[in-house]
Amino acid sequence: MREWNRICRSSGNVLAVLLLTLSLPGVFAAEWKDPSKHIVRFIEVEPGVKLEALDWGGSGEPVLLLSGHGDTGHVFDDFAPRLAGSFRVFAITRRGFGASAQPEQGYDLANLVKDIARVAEALKLERVHLAGHSIAGDEMTRFALTYPEKVGKVIYLEAAYDRVEAQRLEGRFPKLPASSPEARESGSPAAVRALVARTEIRMPESEIRATRVFGPDGQYLRPVTPEAIIRAVATMVEHPDYGAVRAQILAIYAVYRTPADLIARYKTAGPATRQGLDQVFGLWQPFAKAQREFFRKSVPQARVDEIHGASHYVFISHRDRVLRDMRAFLQTH
């Protein structure tokens, strides 16, 4: 979620905004190949704007995976192949991120939803199940309201929150101490991946490479996505109207038991940082509980699974349970 992304950048990680695309010249680029068995396509959604679409194949009804803020479709590289045994699985990298184009405009919710519709049309998906993580919840809700005939079922992966209210809550978070030099990103993709694994969660290496630029020698250089785009996407959120969605809904929530569940860096943080993170945790817990209750009241017919002790990246921390939930939900008529 965007609010945790900002904590990450100020405190050294948690749901670190994994900023985007790999541009590696020379020998270093040739030494590594994405092991996930997908086809990569680039689909033009408007003149000069192409988005990366990943296709893992599979058989059955189509499922379109949408990543959270700062991530790319490659965040599902370990998850999607296991879903492809029962469904035809795709993912999109939204504009501004990863290998997708970075136009100056078009980061409002209406345009992002149009992007999804145009990719679905190009992939010949007349009706598709949507499964989205984090901020993708806003895109899915608006998509389901705008194109109800194109939607099968909707799955919120730690995504059924009112982010307008969440961002207001974020304004109450304490200012955290700056990260130590040891926590700064440096070194090879493997080193960065290890850092993210310690401070957040173990990401697919392809996601690490897709969210950062590394030099010919493998050294981390910079994020690809400018901060202006990060801010623009964060502001596209709106109050969700779950009750107006006609599609069947499954919401999977991570229920944090301790500050370390919410922010993995808590385990190794110093006393001052821990004190601040304790305050963040104390503010988040009642808010999250109220959000879950609001969702249940808005759509009492929806299925809800609360996974205690899960990460915000619930499809990584509790992959098998999420896969089981999704298969059972999607295969029920």
Q: What gap in Å lies between CA 157 and CA 313, rounded to an integer?
A: 8
**Predicted TM-score (pTM) of this structure:** 0.90
Tokens 């939803």, located at residue: 113
Q: Which structural domain range is residue 246 located in?
A: 2-330
With CA atoms as reference, report the closest residue to 10 among 254, 215, 255, 269: 269
Q: What are residue 94's DSSP bridge partners? A: none
Q: Give the pLDDT confidence score for residue 184 in this predicted structure.
A: 56
User: Is beta strand 212-214 parallel, antiparallel or unpaired with respect to 151-157?
Assistant: unpaired
CA distances (Å), 295 to each of 147, 234, 283, 291, 329, in order? 21, 21, 19, 6, 18
What residues contact residue 16 under an 8 Å CB cut-off, 6+ apart?
5, 8, 9, 70, 196, 199, 200
Q: Give the pLDDT confidence score for residue 20 in this predicted structure.
A: 33
Residuewise pLDDT in 10s, the chain (333 residues) = 444 444 443 333 333 333 333 333 333 445 789 999 999 999 999 999 999 999 999 989 999 999 999 999 999 999 999 999 999 999 999 999 999 999 999 999 999 999 999 999 999 999 999 999 999 999 999 999 999 999 999 999 999 999 999 999 999 999 988 765 444 566 899 999 999 998 899 999 999 999 999 999 889 999 999 999 999 999 999 999 999 999 999 999 999 999 999 999 899 899 999 999 999 999 999 999 999 999 999 999 999 999 999 999 999 999 999 999 999 999 987
Q: Give the pLDDT confidence score for residue 31 in this predicted structure.
A: 75
Q: Which two tokens stand for residue 294?
A: 């609001």
Q: If phi over 0 gives left and psi between -120 and 50 gives alpha, with beta otherwise, what is residue 41?
A: beta
Instruction: Supply the CATH number for residue 180's domain.
Output: 3.40.50.1820
How many domains does the chain divide into?
Answer: 1
With CA atoms as reference, report the closest residue to 72 among 109, 26, 18: 18
**DSSP strand E in 108-257: where?**
128-133, 151-157, 212-214, 220-223, 248-255
Instruction: Count CA atoms closer than 13 A to 310's CA, side-chain side.
Output: 21
Q: Give the pLDDT confidence score for residue 6 in this predicted structure.
A: 43
**DSSP strand E in 172-238: where?**
212-214, 220-223
